[in-house]
Structure 1
Amino acid sequence: MKEQIKQMIEAADTIIIHRHERPDPDALGSQFGLQLTLQHQFPSKTVLTAGEMATSLSFMGELDQVDDELYKEALVVILDTANQARIDGKVAMTGKDVIKIDHHPDEDPYAPVQLVDTTMSSTSELLVHLLNEWGYEIPTSAAIQFYAGIVGDTGRFQFRGTTKRTFEVAAQLIDAGIDTDWLYRNMYETELAALHLQGYVLQHIQLTDQGVGYVVLTQDTLKQFGATVEQASLLVNSFAGLKGMKCWALFLETDTEVRVRIRSKGPVINEVAKEFNGGGHPMASGATIGQLSEVERVIRRLDEVAANFQF
């Protein structure tokens, strides 16, 4: 499969790279990192990135405006996207050829050609291994993108998916000459409104008898602190260290839905996420519910999962 993907990339004149909606650092890092590496390796090819930018991650780069007509003769590579419904830009599936490269559980094999490796910490790490295997040089401009993706998906190398291989790849990317000070400053500096909101989150954590922590942020609360849903979603790990908590959820009300970010220290939570229009990793998932009245249903299901887990 890896060799087939390499041949498809080398045969294509136009390559369009997509990833999931509401991108995180791994989605954008893998997208920009692959683009910059392929542009470096094949200067004559047209390599484009598609989708909507997350405001908080705009420092990572600028996405291209891609004409729908280009897809008819293009190779489309979709990164870090487990389900077809989550692709940012549904036109992606109209490409002449479509490849899926991901590290999430392969519950929706939507592409004719796929490379999925759930042992990788991130899609960025997976791509570095792949590019190394192909003998492609990763320029510094791409290395910092991949590093951002790895840092984001491993929680600065804290999460369970971090392995010896992850650190080896990180070392390779650092050796490429990346500016980690610049990256960490841009990734983790926080607006004053977001810090005030974090204080609110820490004051309003609820913990069930089964060890499920949760916080609900309504639209009114977000308006009160002048914070966006995007800013608020970054606070999901702000109470990760709570003693006695096995898993936790952050509920974010928008105009049309309630987004749910779920994390775990042990109980497998992606099956619960799937029940609520979501999915993801066993320890980190996302879901969507229609209204705040459904919060209790999510907590009950997380309680059931947590009750069967002991540290």
Structure 2
Amino acid sequence: MKRQIIDKIEQYDTIIIHRHVRPDPDAYGSQFGLKRLLEANYPNKTIYAIGEHDPSLTFLETPETISDDVFTESLVIVTDTANTGRIDDSRYNTGAYLIKIDHHPNDDQYGDLLWVDTNASSCSEMIYELFIEGKEYKNWQLSDASARLLFAGIVGDTGRFLYPSASLRTFEVAGQLIKYDFDRTEVFNGMYEKEANLLHLQGYIYENFKIDENGACYIKLTKDVLERFQVTPNDTSLLVGSLSDIKGVCAWVFFVEESDQIRIRLRSKGPIINELAKKYNGGGHPLASGATAYSWEEVERAIEDLKDICRQYKI
């Protein structure tokens, strides 16, 4: 599969790389890590990484803006995106050929060529594996810029290697990446330093979360709360891990109110929660998923479902 992807890359002069909406470090890490990898090995190709920019990820890279005509006769690669509904920029299907590279469950089998590895800790880890194949097959080289991005993506999706998805191979890959010339401290600061108002919101979360006897835990962040702390819904993604530190937590969820919907961020220490996410217009990994509700009544149903999952897990 990896060699088929490399063969397709070599066939096209223009390559456009997409990732998912509401990007996280692995979305940027895999997207831009692939871009920098290909630029280092194919300097005569034109390679774009596109999508709406998240200012919190500026320390990694900034996407480009391209016109519709660029897609003509282009190879399109989508990284770290399980289903078509979450691909940032709907023009992904207007190119000449489409490749999907992802580590989420393959519920939406889109693309002309698919490489999905649910055992990978992150899509960034998969891009490193693509580099290893390219090194053997076509003498590829990995640039410092690409190594930095892939490392950031792996760190982000493994929660600094705390999540069960961080396998022996993940640590091996990280060990290889830190041999390259980039500032790890700068990467960690960009990922984990928080503005004072966000830390104040974190204090609010610790004061107001709810947890039941089976470890089902949740917090509701309404628009009024976000406005009080001058925080955007996207900013709250930096705090999702906060509730994992609470003793006895089994699974937890952030409900974040936006203008027209309520974003659901689900996390778990054991029970499988991506089926719950699918029930509420979402999906993701078994222990880390996202979904959407359209009313607070629907949120209450999701809370009851989460409680049932934790109750059954404890039996």
- Common fold: TM-score over 0.5: yes
Worse overlay, 206-215 or 32-41: 206-215
Aligned to 1:99: 99
Aligned to 2:198: 194
Q: Shift of the alpha carbon at 1:291? A: 1.8
Instruction: Give the 5 Å matches for 1:238-249.
Output: 238-249=242-253
Are positions 1:16 and 2:16 aligned together?
A: yes
Alpha-carbon distance between aligned partners in 1 of 2:3 and 2:271, rounded to the nearest angstrom: 37
Alpha-carbon distance between aligned partners in 2 of 1:236 and 1:293, rounded to the nearest angstrom: 22
* Residue identity in the other structure for 2:222: T
Identity of aligned residues (%): 46
TM-score by length of 1: 0.98
Aligned to 2:254: 250
Q: Deviations over 1:180-204 (max 9, x none)?
A: 0111111111001100000000101
Aligned to 1:302: 306
Aligned residues: 311
Are positions 1:269 and 2:236 aligned together?
A: no
Aligned to 2:56: 56
Runs of at least 4 residues of structure 1 off by over 6 A?
none
Query: Structure 1 regions of 5+ residues with no counterpart?
Result: none
**Secondary structure at 1:178's aligned position in 2?**
coil
Aligned to 2:282: 278
TM-score by length of 2: 0.97
Q: Deviations over 1:94-116 (max 9, x none)?
A: 11000000000000001121000
Q: Of 253, 259, 262, which residue of structure 1 is paired with 2:263?
A: 259
**Secondary structure at 2:121's aligned position in 1?**
coil
Are positions 1:154 and 2:154 aligned together?
A: no
Alpha-carbon distance between aligned partners in 2 of 1:184 and 1:252, rounded to the nearest angstrom: 25
Alpha-carbon distance between aligned partners in 2 of 1:277 and 1:69, rounded to the nearest angstrom: 33
Worse overlay, 101-110 or 293-302: 293-302
**Secondary structure at 1:239's aligned position in 2?**
helix
**Secondary structure at 2:267's aligned position in 1?**
strand
Q: Shift of the alpha carbon at 1:64? A: 1.1
Instruction: Give the 5 Å matches for 1:213-228.
Output: 213-228=217-232
Does structure 1 retain, via aligned residues, the 8 Å contact 2:281–2:293? yes
Q: Shift of the alpha carbon at 1:293? A: 2.3
Aligned to 1:168: 172
Alpha-carbon distance between aligned partners in 2 of 1:310 and 1:96, rounded to the nearest angstrom: 50
**Secondary structure at 1:240's aligned position in 2?**
helix
Does structure 1 retain, via aligned residues, the 8 Å contact 2:263–2:290? yes
Q: Deviations over 1:138-166 (max 9, x none)?
A: 10011000000000000000001001111
Q: Deviations over 1:226-258 (max 9, x none)?
A: 111111222111110211111000000011100
Alpha-carbon distance between aligned partners in 1 of 2:307 and 2:184, rounded to the nearest angstrom: 39
Worse overlay, 232-241 or 156-165: 232-241
